[in-house]
Structure 1
Amino acid sequence: MDLRIFTEPQQGATYDTLLTVAKATEDLGFDAFFRSDHYVAMGDSDGLPGPTDAWITLAGLARETKRIRLGTLMTAATFRLPGVLAIQVAQVDQMSGGRVELGLGAGWFAEEHAAYGIPFPKEKFGRLEEQLEIVTGLWATDAGKTFDFDGEHYQLKDSPGLPKPAQAKIPVLIGGHGASRTPRLAARYADEFNMPFSSVEDTERQFGRVRAAAEKAGRAADDLTYSSALVVCVGKDDQEVARRAASIGREVDELKENGLAGTPAEVVEKIGRYAEAGSTRLYLQVLDLHDLDHLELISAQVQSQLR
């Protein structure tokens, strides 16, 4: 089971804070550092000191880290034109020496679009599908050839499809709860399917839909990696679990029901249930980015038991 650290910087984090967490992620043996792609805080957070851009952040981290994978859960298709996104991600992949992964979603948070003057179209899924075709098509275009696309939402003509990523194929992540269109898109474009913040039962059900869609599309279901994203709150004892839950404004019982919370033994047991449902990778949503002792505990007493 791969463990990846997943952050939500829109809740309030500077680049320096994210760099510290990314370096701890690398030093403590985790597989990857991922971040959300949002511009406005959610819930009770004031979001201070303000948002950081996902791909600018990852560009910086690409030069400051050496081993860990870097990516987004999920970049919003509404934020960037697909040609620009393809250039940005390919460049960051070059800057990292080939360690980037692209999670791409439709975009959903209307308030942040209004706050920063970003158009929020009514039809988002069709745009996402065209973006996936364009981004992957640009990367796959042979040097010296051109890429054309004539869709309902985007048109490209005589694109050189440059620059190329360092990797022969940047992994693409697609996720979500949709019962039909999401599995179909994953079957066509995804290297990894991620099920966010869901029960073991719902996760297993959605993985089954994606596997069926892959096979219907003529692709082996095991070609995809299947992963889960869950908030994490681990303590060496019940008192430490309660303290960490309080620091992020959550209740212990709710976290145990909907996330990965409890002592290391409790968390390892629940991870085993997700593994039985088909997850081979977990994105641990860390909400207190200043609590590096939390990451050390997870590394020493949870991750060590999964190897």
Structure 2
Amino acid sequence: MDLRIFTEPQQGASYETLLAVAQATEQLGFDAFFRSDHYLHMGDGDGLPGPTDAWVTLAGLARETSRIRLGTLMTAGTFRLPGVLAIQVAQVDAMSGGRIELGLGAGWFAEEHTAYGIPFPKEKFPRLEEQLAIVTGLWETPVGETFSYDGTYYQLTDSPALPKPAQAKVPVLVGGMGKVRTPRLAARYADEFNIPFQSAADSAEQFGRVREAAKEAGRAPEDLVYSNALVACVGRTEAEVTRRAAAIGREVAELRENGLAGTPGEVVEKIASYREAGCQRIYFQILDLDDLDHLAVIAEDVARQLD
């Protein structure tokens, strides 16, 4: 089971804070550091010092880490034109020495678009499909050839399709709980399918839909990695669990029900249920980014039990 760290910087985090978490992620042996791609905080709090851009952040971290994978859950398709995004991701991949992964979603948080003057089109899912076709098509075009695309929402003519990523194939993540279009899109474009904040039972059903869609697309279901993102609240004692729940404004009972919460033994048992559902990779959503000991508890007392 791969274990990754997933952060929500829009809730309030400077680059320096994210750097500390990323470097702790690397030092403690986790597989990857991922972050959300949002420009406005959600719920209570003020979000200070303000939003940080996902790809600017990852460019910085690419130069200040050496081993961990780096990526987004998920970059909003509404934020960037697909040709520009392909350039950005390829450049950051080169800066990292080939450690970047792209999670790309349709975008959903209307208020952040209003707050920063970003268009929020109604036809987000069809646009996402074209964006995936363009980004992957640009990367796959051989050097010296050009790429053109004539879609409903985007048109590219004789693009040199440069630069290329350092990796031969940048892993692309698609996710969500849509029952028809989402599995079909994942089967066509994704290297990994991610389910955020759902039960093991619901995850098993959705993984099954994606596997069936892959077969229908003529692709082996095993070609994809299947993953879950879940909020983490782990403590060596019940007092630690309670303290960490209070720090993120959540109730322990609710976190035990909906996330990876409790003592290390409890969390290992919960992860086992996701493994049985078909999950191969877990993203621990860390909401208190100043509590680096939380990462140490997961690395030392949870991860070691999963080896």
Q: TM-score, normalised by structure 1?
A: 1.00
Aligned to 2:250, what secondary structure does the other structure show?
A: coil
CA RMSD of aligned residues (A): 0.3
Matched, 1:56 2:56: yes
Cα drift, residue 45 of structure 1:
1.9
- Who is 2:275 aligned against? 275
Aligned to 1:205, what secondary structure does the other structure show?
A: helix
Moved over 2 A (4+): none
Query: For 2:104 and 2:45, how far apart are their aligned partners in 1?
Result: 25
Q: Percent identity?
A: 77
- Who is 2:37 aligned against? 37
Cα drift, residue 55 of structure 1:
0.1
Cα drift, residue 237 of structure 1:
1.1
Cα drift, residue 24 of structure 1:
0.1
Query: For 2:61 and 2:237, how far apart are their aligned partners in 1?
Result: 33
- Who is 2:118 aligned against? 118
Aligned to 1:232, what secondary structure does the other structure show?
A: strand
Which structure 2 residues correspond to residues 10-159 of structure 1 after superposition, within 5 A?
10-159=10-159
Which structure 2 residues correspond to residues 217-228 of structure 1 after superposition, within 5 A?
217-228=217-228
1:131-180 Cα distance to aligned partner (Å, 9 max, x none): 00000000000001000000000000010000000000000000001000
Which structure 2 residues correspond to residues 245-284 of structure 1 after superposition, within 5 A?
245-284=245-284
1:101-157 Cα distance to aligned partner (Å, 9 max, x none): 000000000000000000000110000000000000000000010000000000000
Which structure 2 residues correspond to residues 194-209 of structure 1 after superposition, within 5 A?
194-209=194-209
Query: For 2:177 and 2:167, how far apart are their aligned partners in 1?
Result: 29
**Which letter maps to 1:88?**
Q
Query: For 1:159 and 1:24, how far apart are their aligned partners in 2?
Result: 40
Aligned to 1:302, what secondary structure does the other structure show?
A: helix
**Which letter maps to 1:154?**
Y
Query: For 1:255 and 1:45, how far apart are their aligned partners in 2?
Result: 20
Cα drift, residue 247 of structure 1:
0.3
- Who is 1:215 aligned against? 215
Query: For 2:183 and 2:298, how far apart are their aligned partners in 1?
Result: 32
Aligned to 2:293, what secondary structure does the other structure show?
A: helix
Aligned to 2:149, what secondary structure does the other structure show?
A: strand
**Which letter maps to 2:82?**
P
Query: For 2:298 and 2:45, how far apart are their aligned partners in 1?
Result: 25
Query: For 2:27 and 2:45, how far apart are their aligned partners in 1?
Result: 29
Cα drift, residue 306 of structure 1:
1.0
Cα drift, residue 212 of structure 1:
0.2
1:162-210 Cα distance to aligned partner (Å, 9 max, x none): 0000000000000001000000000000000001100011000000000
Query: For 2:196 and 2:145, how far apart are their aligned partners in 1?
Result: 38
Q: TM-score, normalised by structure 2?
A: 1.00
**Which letter maps to 2:131?**
Q
- Who is 1:232 aligned against? 232
Query: For 2:151 and 2:219, how far apart are their aligned partners in 1?
Result: 25
Query: For 1:303 and 1:53, how far apart are their aligned partners in 2?
Result: 30
Cα drift, residue 67 of structure 1:
0.1
1:69-122 Cα distance to aligned partner (Å, 9 max, x none): 000000000000000000000000000000000000000000000000000001
Matched, 1:301 2:301: yes
